[in-house]
Structure 1
Amino acid sequence: MDAAHPRVLGYLGRALSLELTAVQQYMTQASLLEIWGNAEAAKRFREETVEELRHAEKLVQRMLSLGVAPAASQLQPVAHAPDLPGLLRHNSAMETELINHYAEAVRFCVQIGDGENEDCFRELWRDEQSHGEELAIWLRQLGGQPGPGLDRATF
């Protein structure tokens, strides 16, 4: 086990919290979309749930390899909206937060010469950038406008 800079450990812990927040959000929104009768969108959100869970697992493995007990410090509340475009806008903001976090972590690892953790953060950064692009495309395909069902209950 290699000793990691305390700030790198902080980036790992915060990343775990953000990834588990994403898992919770996508899972909840998938169920909401199912209630709304949008099985296709629910399926896509469930796929995102699995992808974010894989990211969380990668972080847990990385932390364990560094001799650190994984602990997500704080999950953010699930964002909701009355329609799919609204959900996508919330998810885009969440992905942007992840992208920015990983970019900052990569910069710090480069600065201190921590190539192993840099590689880990860089891979996650690229994945999140891809997710963000996919969400932007999906939102544009929907016209970026609120869809039917503005009177739907959320939670």
Structure 2
Amino acid sequence: MRGDPKVIEYLNSALRHELAAVNQYWLHYRILDNWGYKDFAKVWREESIEEMRHADTIVARILFLDGAPNMQSLEKLRIGKSVKEIIDCDLAAEMSARALYLDAAKYCDSVNDRVTRMLFEHLTSDEEKHIDFLEAQLTLIDQLGEPLYAQKHVGELHE
């Protein structure tokens, strides 16, 4: 099925965001794991995998609309150097993706592409859940201080 060119542009923009998120969350997972924050790292690993699923869904939709998925370019990665910076970086990426998905959903509605609109609405919902989680973590850091907050996420010690 031939898709609206601007819808395909929006989908490729979304793909850039999701592919960057896969890499950013994965690198943050590895950093957190390396620092010893084992429980925290598990959450970031799962986020990376969820973002990969989003990217896969977007690629499938682009192909269905006879578009060409652009897997060559990514949004810039934001990499933190502390637990708080990691959360700040991921929150910024999620906010950027959410703004794109809201615009994309409106455009898809205007050209009567309900399926792609619903895809963007679903992605928006997922991003809002991520945003809520990350904002809650920042609130906890503010209330507890970063050292105490981070200590909670070390997990069990293993060799």
**Alignment TM-score > 0.5, same fold:** yes
What's the RMSD between the two structures over aligned residues? 1.6
Q: When the two structures are aligned, how many residues end up with a matched partner?
A: 147
When structure 1 is superposed on structure 2, of 74-83 and 39-48 the one drifting more is 74-83
How far has the Cα of 1:81 moved from its partner? 2.4
The unaligned stretches of length 5 or more in structure 1 are 149-155
Counterpart residue identity of residue 95, structure 1: E
CA distance in 1, matches of 2:89, 2:143: 12
Q: Matched residues in 1 for 2:81 and 2:18: separation?
A: 24
Offset, 1:4? 1.4
Once the two structures are superposed, residues 96-136 of structure 1 have per-residue CA deviations (whole angstroms, 9 ceiling, x without a partner) of 01100000001111222221211111111111111111111
Aligned to 1:139: 138
Long gaps (5+) in structure 2 = 148-159
How far did residue 144 of structure 1 move? 7.0
Alignment partner, residue 106 of structure 2: 107
The change in CA–CA distance for 1:146 and 1:60 in structure 2 (over 3 A counts) is: farther
Letter in 1 for 2:93: M
Q: Aligned pair in 2 of structure 1 residues 145, 98: CA closer, same or farther (>3 Å)?
A: farther
2:56 maps to: 57
Normalised to the residue count of structure 2, the TM-score between the two structures is 0.86
TM, length-normalised to structure 1: 0.88
Matched, 1:93 2:92: yes
Most deviating of 116-125 and 99-108: 116-125
Question: Does residue 76 of the first structure (1) align with residue 75 of the second (2)?
Answer: yes
Bigger share in helix: 2
- Aligned AA (2:53): R
